[in-house]
Amino acid sequence: MGATMKRWQLPSFGLRNLEQVEVPVPTPGGHDLLIRVSAVSLNYRDRLVVDGDLLPERPAMPFTPVSDMGGEVVATGDGVSRAKGGDRVLGNFWTGWIDGAPPREMTRHGLSLGGPLPGMLAEYVILHEDAAVAAPRSLADREASTLPVAGLTAWFALVETGHLAPGDTVLVEGTGGVALFGLQIARAFGARVIVTSRSAGKLDRARALGATDVIDTTKTPQWSGTALELTHGSGVDHVLELIGGDNLGQSAAALASGGRISQIGFLKGTDIRLPAVPLMLKRAVIQGITVGHRRAFEDLIRAVDRFGITPVIDKVYGFDQAPAAFAHLDRGPFGKIVIDVRG
């Protein structure tokens, strides 16, 4: 490697301020890894961070955005024991959350990558060894880079907290990154999957990916009745709630007894609203989800290798095209947007 590298950064918030700079390649100390980034993937969260709409406190500026990364370890600090040069690694979003409950103090290295901690949109990054996990052998870095946020979110909702079982019915809303991971994980576990979308074309693509049934919400805005019909009146066991607002009323109505809504996104408004009685009679659970811990991430990676899950990438952009990649996010990709950092 050279002495310098390229990095995107924000001197102040706003996508138009995103600038590419040439800076020295950092040196890893103590328990740090120096990682040559191969690919990053974008999440809607990154867009909010870039626009200054997410973080309650302003991070150190200039700030480099983007949470998701796949790359290769090229140098290590003296104290490193979890990884070595040449290892292919991914970053663990909540850097200090290893297993069980998150530690009460997430102050030292317990915050999240890509805001408030520095992000991954650079040719080289530094990660504490505890925040790195081995990449899946069965995936190239482009695909692997989509796992840390979207993949783990779907896995944490369905498997880690949801105890997904064969024969369960999963309903996923839309066809973004988390939704399609939900679809693929559920199918791998032998679950039925219902996908909702306003786009007939996207529903066709979801079906091609294995969706058991689809509901076009342009035609059927009150979609819970259809979900009940498709399950012969039993209802669905899991909902990946990516819409929020009063859409939870539909989710609660569609739910089976003992079912679970994983609250993940809120496209339709930051307040959720639903009737109490079906929630109570069904002994249903609404579970807030924001990504997950490292142990579950390692479980996901093992399952990806075992089941041969290939993440769905809508489009790959080159490193210099980062602003265009962000703009694509606004148009609602089918699956993930990736930036090939070496491209």
Question: Tokens 């259809």 appear where?
Answer: 226
C-alpha radius of gyration, the chain, whole number: 20
Judged by CB, which is closer to its own copies: 155, or 317? 155
The CA angle 41-323-88, to the nearest 5 degrees, is 25
The answer to whether the CB of 224 falls within 8 A of the CB of 253 is yes
For 317-339, letters b (16+ CB in 10 Å) and e give: bebebbbebbebbeebbbbbbbb
Does residue 69 bind its own copies (CB under 8 A)? no
Distances (CA, A) of 171 to 17, 52, 86, 164: 38, 32, 40, 12
Residues 2, 16, 107, 208: which binds its own copies (CB under 8 A)? 107
Which part of the chain contacts its own copies (CB under 8 A), choosing from 75-83, 114-122, 197-205, 333-341? 75-83
> What is the pattern of x (binds its own copies, CB under 8 A) and - over residues 271-310?
xxxxxxxxxxxxxxxxxxxx--x-x---x--xx-xxx---
Q: Evaluate whether 70 touches 145 at the Cβ level (below 8 Å).
A: yes
Residues of this chain, 312-331, that bind its own copies according to CB under 8 A: none
Q: Which is nearer to its own copies, 241 or 314 (CB)?
A: 241
Instruction: Report the interhelical angle of 294-307 vs 177-188 (nearest 10°).
Output: 60
Smallest gap from residue 22 Cβ to its own copies (A): 29
At 254, give phi and psi (nearest 5°): -85, -10
Residue 184: which H helix or E strand, with range?
A: helix 177-188
Q: Is 295 left (phi over 0), alpha (psi -120 to 50) or beta?
A: alpha
Query: Rule CB under 8 A: is residue 47 a binding residue for its own copies?
Result: no
Among 11, 24, 190, 318, binds its own copies (CB under 8 A): 190
- Nearest approach in angstroms of CB 325 to its own copies is 25
**Smallest gap from residue 19 Cβ to its own copies (A):** 29
Could you tell me which stretch among 33-41, 116-124, 262-270, 329-337 binds its own copies (CB under 8 A)?
262-270
Give the Å distances, CA to CA, from 74 to 1, 22, 191, 222, 243: 9, 19, 40, 53, 41
189 lies in the site for its own copies, by CB under 8 A: yes
Give the one residue of 154, 264, 339, 341 binding its own copies; rule: CB under 8 A: 264
- Nearer Cβ to its own copies (123/237): 237
Contact flag: residue 51 with its own copies (CB under 8 A): no
Q: Is 57 in the site for its own copies (CB under 8 A)?
A: no
Residues that bind its own copies (CB under 8 A): 30-31, 79, 81-82, 98-105, 107-108, 129, 159, 163, 165-167, 188-190, 234, 244, 257-258, 263-264, 266, 270-290, 293, 295, 299, 302-303, 305-307
